[in-house]
Amino acid sequence: MDITQALPLLGGISPERFMKQYWQKKPLLIRQAIPQKQPLLDRAALFDLAASEEVESRLIEQKATPGAKAKSASKKPKGSAWRMRHGPFERRALPALKQPGWTLLVQGVNLHVDAVDALMQQFRFVPDARLDDVMISYASEGGGVGPHFDSYDVFLLQAHGQRRWQIGAQKDLSLQEGAPLKILASFEPEQTWVLEPGDMLYLPPRYAHDGVAVSADCMTYSVGFRAPKQAELGQEILQRLAEDLSDAPELLYKDRGQSAVSEPARLPEGLTAFAKQALQAALKDPLALARSLGEYLTEPKAQVWFDELDDDHGLVQIAEMGGVELDRRSRMMFDDRHIFINGESYLAAGRDARLMRQLANDRAISDKDWRAASEGARELMLDWCMSGWLRVRAQP
């Protein structure tokens, strides 16, 4: 991707400028970012996904509670008007299309639908390590998830019908008590827009917003991002380093210099020093940290299972004709020394590393590049094909 080229996707500015001026800083409304002749997947296909065990979905309904506003009349906690249920949902478990005020949220649609995966690829001016998934919401008229803020950046693309967005830069992000989902206790909108199909709104993290469907059949695609939490990342890395240590040679604590003690319960200083050395040993390998980080960041999503092939018959010939491409659910990244794919790491250098980086960046390599690859690289890619991580392309 040419990051200096102005894109309609970003309202005529380049990815480079977008990242400098807007990313994590301020909202951007883009009219006709991705003109939508028709949604990438129709209502029936979305409902089918919501019925699947493998897909995370939620149903949010806003019930009119007549007494809720009158303080004294209501013993109910504030926010009791909202109801949330988790999927999967059979079609008959969803409210009638004509019933106003409900929303179905379907997470990770890019993992299941090529066209939605392709949509997400348009946002790869942001590092893959930060891209999360595409969630699709379906709302009946008046439906929405209430005024809230998200912890992550999001692009909200209107795919079908109209949605009215209100947004505000409020500092007070306190939430209603007792609501089954995050609803701002007091929302102070500053700007309002109605988004038509093709329009898109970018919001940085923690920006208050409320989107209400102003038509029936309202579909919105949220291109979402992920940002590791520091403590969680620390835990993940330490856990992996600990696993590495289990392969280390056994080294026993020795205390030849230990003198006789009159306070037997006191920890020996030498033992504290020995524990410190144990931790230093875990980080001694200068690549250990990068390796653990890359493995963690490329771990496939929880619901992802790859279908392994049991016969490689013909794969090589087909790859020679069409090259290979990553399965849409595969995560592949690299750093200066490693290639990471689906939670595994490989040291790579020279020509092989260049090829693997190309595969990670373009998510495919051509038949020509396949033919020019080293035997080792081809064998590895064949293994990945067998694991279902990579697919051969019948034609380029």
Contact residues toward Co ion (CB under 5 A) are 150
The one among 162, 176, 220, 292 contacting ligand SIN by CB under 6 A? 220
List 260's β-bridge partners, or say none: none
Q: Binding residues for ligand SIN, how many (CB under 6 A)?
A: 10
The one among 48, 128, 150, 344 contacting ligand SIN by CB under 6 A? 150
Told to check if 137 binds ligand SIN by CB under 6 A, we report yes
Residue 148 CB, shortest distance to Co ion, in Å, is: 6
Positions of E strands within the chain: 28-30, 57-62, 82-86, 102-106, 131-139, 154-160, 163-168, 191-195, 200-203, 208-213, 218-225, 324-326, 332-334, 338-341, 344-347, 364-365, 390-392
Closest CB to ligand SIN among 145 and 356? 145
| DSSP secondary structure of 43-75 | HHHHHHHHT-TTS-EEEEEE---GGGSSTTT--
Told to check if 57 binds ligand SIN by CB under 6 A, we report no
Please give the structure tokens belonging to residue 360: 């990670």
Please give the structure tokens belonging to residue 150: 């998200």
Please give the structure tokens belonging to residue 168: 């505000």
Residue 184 CB, shortest distance to ligand SIN, in Å, is: 12
Q: Which does 222 bind (CB under 5 to 8 A by kind): ligand SIN, Co ion, none?
A: ligand SIN
Segment contacting ligand SIN by CB under 6 A, of 137-145, 293-301, 339-347, 367-375: 137-145
CA atoms of 104 and 365, how far apart (whole Å): 37
Residue 139 CB, shortest distance to ligand SIN, in Å, is: 6
Told to check if 36 binds ligand SIN by CB under 6 A, we report no
**Binding characters for ligand SIN, 170-209, by CB under 6 A (x = yes):** ---------------------------------------x
Closest CB to ligand SIN among 154 and 382? 154
Please give the structure tokens belonging to residue 204: 């940085």
Q: Residue 88, preceding bond cis, omega within 30 degrees? A: yes
Q: Which residues contact 47 (CB under 8 A, 6 or more apart)?
A: 89, 91, 94, 104, 138
By the criterion CB under 6 A, which residues form the site for ligand SIN? Answer: 103, 137, 144-145, 150, 154, 209, 211, 220, 222
